[in-house]
Chain A
Amino acid sequence: MGRQVCIASAGFSEHASKRSDVNMPELVSEAIEDCLKKVPSVSVNDIDAFVNGNMPAFEGSNIPELWMTDWMGARNKPLMRITTGGTTGGSVAIGGYYTVTAELPGIDTVLAIAFEQQSQGDTSTGLASVAYGEISVLNTLGISYEQLTQLLSAGAAIGVASYQATNYMRRSKITEEDLARVVVQNRHNAANTWWAHLKMPDLTIADVLETPYISYPLRYGMVCPASDGACAMLFTTEEKAKDLCDIPVYVNGVGSVANESGVLGYNGSGAGQLDTSEQLGAMKSAELAFGQAGISFPRKEIDYAEVYSPFPNQELMWIERLGLFEENTASEMYETGVTALNGELPINCSGGVNSTNAIGASAMERPAVAALQIMGKASNQVPKTVHTAIGHGWGGIINLITMMVMSNKPTRKIK
């Protein structure tokens, strides 16, 4: 069922809170340039198809994929836009993988591009389209519209992440200091990543704990920035990838599962769950991807992980739910340095979403960084050899959880 797929390259644009020096297509073309620079024998003309995506409505630019067609080199070529909220990037990467594995005639090399230029628009207005679905529920509960901003959309996405945080903290008995430790590791890692946004090489736990709360237990210093940036990944066949690069990265398994349905439920459909840190969707997504990749003991077999964590509690939660650590042990791993750059299982050495969040691109930057770590070409390269790595994406409480398992060997079970 489908041929083997390899990642031949991945690239990034420089990320910052305001990239006003470039327009949206120019920003995307920067990531493509960086991606193709690493595979000198490939030019834009050699790409057979394109998959593209960003968050709908965040920038207020309609059909951006058509605006940037020429800037991507997609003129007269198949082009598809995928947009699944926060996991857009993860879905676009999976779209690139599917396009190659499908064995379509004449389509061997596919460029997947995800981007976001948040400084163009109002992210909270974009998120309002999500919050509006919950207005009817709020009113049934006797909560007036005026109070909506104080409840759900308290500081936008943080309003929902704080429920996950408190649930997780109660379960695993961690403190705010444990959360701050995750942030410090991420921001230190970001300082060594050329394209990252929030670089803070001297940040301390005390610094983080001094910042004010946005929504308990998440403080200003703990949350991700809003970035402008783009990411590109080059997917191709096994044969072509062997010619293009020294270490082709095989995509051995993918998964995309959703189980949450909002805090109060979309259009009044109910929450569907009581504990938002349970994350059955992440567990199922990991199970699917690991199953395809033939991984039975993720803790032993995975050498590197990039997880989607705009908020530090999520990083702890994901690495447990994805099977990398035992339940309620994640914060210890940060304390003992297991997850550090030179640790046994390094996590988010790019600084993660916590340091750079161009939303549409974020979930693709995870597999992109993981693939570069396997190739040995990452910006903040881990000292040990990475054989197998994962890239994970989360898309808000009403969206998918994407997974991509990559390795330097083909281990895919489905043939």
Chain B
Amino acid sequence: MSVKIKERESEVFKIINTTNHNINHYKNYNQKKFKIMTEKIVVANKGLVRAEFAFWVGRYMDKFFDAFENKKILGNKCPKCGDVFVPPRKICGKCNIMIPFDQNWVDLPDTGTLKNYTITYYKINDRASRKVKKPQIIGMVQIDGSNTAIIYRLLDIEPEEVKIEMKVKVVWEDKTKGDPSDIKGFVKI
């Protein structure tokens, strides 16, 4: 006996059908191996389970996001190896030492280098219309003067124009609030 939620099942099925790829061999694979058990719906929970999770960013990242309000990017520097972290962090894992909260802050420019990217045809935050009209490009950007990368969308660019190692610049929201959404994305310069 298996407990299955009817609605959920149909939805999953719908999503699979909207893709254009051939998934038939996966379906066959699933059905070949195991005996299909009889299904009995014991409970059909049509309500939503609310699971509200968040995470505290801590003092270091809090200062980082606060600086977004003034359209500034802050990093912090390991006093031993000199690596600059964006976002800033308490401990340099390479040297195993603590970076004091009141020292070693570095003001960084809002330009950087694209280190890697992907092109996606789906949105993850909107279940109603997952498929996007225009492919989105999401890139890993190394802010100039730092040793780490942050991930944001690349704006106003066609997929074929994107090149790894190209120079990019932050596009700030007009009204900044001091949170990650203050950065709209990056554009090619």
B77-126 CB contacts (< 8 Å) to partner A: 89-94, 96, 98
User: Hey, which chain B residues are within 8 Å of A261, CB to CB?
Assistant: none
Among B43, B59, B93, point to the contact of A139 (Cβ < 8 A): B43
The total of chain A residues at the interface (CB under 8 A) is: 31
Decide if B91 touches A70 in the complex (CB within 8 Å).
Answer: yes
A128, B51: Cα distance in complex, Å: 10
The residue on B at minimum CB distance from A68 is B91
A21, B59: Cα distance in complex, Å: 6
User: Hey, which chain B residues are within 8 Å of A128, CB to CB?
Assistant: 49
User: Hey, which chain B residues are within 8 Å of A73, CB to CB?
Assistant: 91, 93, 96
* A365: Cβ under 8 A from any B Cβ: no
Decide if B59 touches A125 in the complex (CB within 8 Å).
Answer: no
User: Hey, which chain A residues are within 8 Å of B57, CB to CB?
Assistant: 23
The residue on B at minimum CB distance from A140 is B42
* B56: Cβ under 8 A from any A Cβ: yes
Decide if B53 touches A23 in the complex (CB within 8 Å).
Answer: no
Write out, one digit per residue, whether chain A residues 48-91 have a CB within 8 A of any chain B CB (1) or not (0): 00000000000111000000011101010000000000000000
Write out, one digit per residue, whether chain B residues 127-146 have a CB within 8 A of any chain A CB (1) or not (0): 00000000000000000000
- Given A45-B96, A75-B93, decide whether A60 and B51 contact each other with a Cβ distance below 8 A: yes
* B45: Cβ under 8 A from any A Cβ: yes
User: Hey, which chain A residues are within 8 Å of B12, CB to CB?
Assistant: none
User: Hey, which chain B residues are within 8 Å of A69, CB to CB?
Assistant: 93
Decide if A22 touches B58 in the complex (CB within 8 Å).
Answer: yes
A61, B90: Cα distance in complex, Å: 19
A171, B93: Cα distance in complex, Å: 54
User: Hey, which chain B residues are within 8 Å of A117, CB to CB?
Assistant: 56
User: Hey, which chain A residues are within 8 Å of B52, CB to CB?
Assistant: 121-122, 125
* B26: Cβ under 8 A from any A Cβ: no
Decide if B91 touches A29 in the complex (CB within 8 Å).
Answer: yes
A24, B53: Cα distance in complex, Å: 13
CB of A39, distance to nearest CB on chain B (Å): 16
* A387: Cβ under 8 A from any B Cβ: no
* A193: Cβ under 8 A from any B Cβ: no
Decide if B96 touches A59 in the complex (CB within 8 Å).
Answer: no
* B50: Cβ under 8 A from any A Cβ: yes
* B34: Cβ under 8 A from any A Cβ: no
* B61: Cβ under 8 A from any A Cβ: yes
CB of B81, distance to nearest CB on chain A (Å): 12
Consensus secondary structure, chain B interface: loop
* A330: Cβ under 8 A from any B Cβ: no
CB of A40, distance to nearest CB on chain B (Å): 16
Decide if A70 touches B92 in the complex (CB within 8 Å).
Answer: yes
A331-362 CB contacts (< 8 Å) to partner B: none
The residue on A at minimum CB distance from B54 is A120
Q: Size range of the interface on B?
A: 20 to 34
Among A121, A125, A136, point to the contact of B49 (Cβ < 8 A): A125
User: Hey, which chain B residues are within 8 Å of A45, CB to CB?
Assistant: 96
* A263: Cβ under 8 A from any B Cβ: no
User: Hey, which chain B residues are within 8 Å of A145, CB to CB?
Assistant: 43, 45
Write out, one digit per residue, whether chain A residues 24-53 have a CB within 8 A of any chain B CB (1) or not (0): 111001000000000000011100000000
* A135: Cβ under 8 A from any B Cβ: yes
Among B43, B89, B92, which residue has the most Cβ atoms of chain A within 10 A?
A: B43
CB of B32, distance to nearest CB on chain A (Å): 27
* A211: Cβ under 8 A from any B Cβ: no
User: Hey, which chain A residues are within 8 Å of B53, CB to CB?
Assistant: 59-61, 120-122, 125
A258, B52: Cα distance in complex, Å: 31
A24, B94: Cα distance in complex, Å: 19
A135, B113: Cα distance in complex, Å: 52
Decide if A29 touches B90 in the complex (CB within 8 Å).
Answer: yes
* A19: Cβ under 8 A from any B Cβ: yes
B49-78 CB contacts (< 8 Å) to partner A: 49-61
CB of B24, distance to nearest CB on chain A (Å): 32
* A20: Cβ under 8 A from any B Cβ: yes
CB of B148, distance to nearest CB on chain A (Å): 12
Decide if A26 touches B49 in the complex (CB within 8 Å).
Answer: no
- Given A60-B53, A125-B51, decide whether A23 and B93 contact each other with a Cβ distance below 8 A: no
A70, B107: Cα distance in complex, Å: 23
CB of A294, distance to nearest CB on chain B (Å): 39
Among B43, B50, B89, point to the contact of A135 (Cβ < 8 A): B43
The residue on A at minimum CB distance from B94 is A75
User: Hey, which chain A residues are within 8 Å of B60, CB to CB?
Assistant: 26
- Given A145-B43, A145-B45, decide whether A23 and B55 contact each other with a Cβ distance below 8 A: yes
Known: A26-B60, A75-B94, A125-B50. 18 other contacts (CB 8 A): A22-B59, A25-B58, A44-B96, A45-B96, A59-B53, A61-B53, A70-B91, A70-B93, A73-B93, A119-B56, A120-B54, A120-B55, A121-B54, A125-B49, A125-B51, A136-B43, A139-B43, A145-B43
Q: Tell me the A residues contacting B by CB distance below 8 Å.
A: 19-26, 29, 43-45, 59-61, 69-71, 73, 75, 117, 119-122, 125, 128, 135-136, 139, 145
**27 A-B pairs, CB-CB below 8 angstroms?**
A21-B59, A22-B58, A23-B57, A23-B61, A24-B55, A25-B58, A29-B90, A29-B98, A44-B96, A59-B53, A60-B53, A60-B55, A69-B93, A70-B92, A71-B90, A73-B93, A73-B96, A75-B94, A119-B56, A121-B53, A122-B53, A125-B50, A128-B49, A135-B43, A136-B42, A139-B43, A145-B43
What are the 7 tightest A-B residue pairs by CB atom distance, in nearest-first order? A70-B93, A60-B53, A23-B58, A121-B53, A75-B93, A125-B51, A26-B58
